[in-house]
């Protein structure tokens, strides 16, 4: 039996895939998603390429962006035991 969270994720994904423009969090709530930010996070963890833009979120085409690389060097400091 699917849980309420699964239904919310399915509703969020359906809204994102059918939208031609940016989907706001208010739109997600109106579609029955009680926790839109958490649902977007879960969809991103599941591998969906969702990007945040001004005014909401949208599905991106193409591969996801790589995580930012740290700049500079790490300096190791010896600790006293």
Question: Which pLDDT score is estimated for 64?
Answer: 66
pLDDT at 65 over 70: no
Closest Cα to residue 46, out of 12, 2, 20, 19?
12
CA 61: distance to chain centroid? 14
Q: Is 77 inside a domain boundary?
A: no
Average pLDDT along the chain: 85
pTM of the model: 0.70
68/47 Cα distance (integer angstroms): 18
- Domain extent, residue 10, equals 4-50
Q: Is 17 inside a domain boundary?
A: yes
Q: Is 38 inside a domain boundary?
A: yes
**Total number of domains constituting the chain:** 1
> What single-letter DSSP state applies at residue 65?
P
**Do residues 57 and 50 lie in contact, with contact meaning Cβ atoms separated by under 8 Å?**
yes
Q: Is 60 inside a domain boundary?
A: no
Q: Is 28 inside a domain boundary?
A: yes
């Amino acid at each position: 039996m699917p849980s309420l969270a699964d239904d919310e994720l399915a509703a969020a994904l359906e809204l994102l895939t059918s939208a031609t423009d940016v989907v706001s969090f208010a739109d997600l709530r109106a579609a029955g998603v009680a926790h839109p930010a958490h649902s977007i996070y879960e969809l991103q963890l599941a591998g969906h390429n969702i990007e945040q833009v001004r005014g909401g979120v949208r599905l991106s085409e193409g591969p996801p962006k790589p995580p930012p690389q740290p700049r500079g060097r790490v300096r190791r400091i010896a600790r006293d035991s």
